[in-house]
Amino acid sequence: MRTETKAIHAAMDVEDSSVDIVPPVHRSTVYELDKKGRSEGDWHYTRLENPNRVQWEHVLKIMEDGEAAAAFSSGVAAASAVFQSLEPGNHIIIPEDVYAGNRKLVKELMQPWGLKADFIDMTDLQNIEDHITDDTSLIWVETPSNPLMNIMDISAIASLGDANGVLVCVDNTWPTPINQKPIDLGADLVLHSTTKYFGGHSDILGGAIVSAKEDGIFEKIRMVQRIGGAVPSPDDCWMLARSTRTLPYRMRGHNENAELLVRFLQNHPKVEKVFYPGLATHAGHEVAEKQMSGYGGMISFLIDGDAEDAIGIVGQSKLIGRATSLGGVESTWEHRHSSEGEGSITPQNLIRISVGLEHADDLLEDLERALG
Q: Exposure of 371 by Cβ count < 10 A (0-12 exposed, 13-18 middle, 19+ buried)?
A: middle
CB 198 within 8 A of CB 251: no
Q: Which residues contact 139 (CB under 8 A, 6 or more apart)?
A: 92, 93, 94, 122, 128, 157, 160, 161, 166, 167, 168, 169
Query: Catalytic residues, which ones?
Result: 47, 99, 171, 196
CA nearest to 47, candidates 232, 217, 221: 232
Encoded amino acid at 142, one letter? E
Q: What is the dihedral of CA 148, 120, 129, 290, to 10 degrees?
A: -10
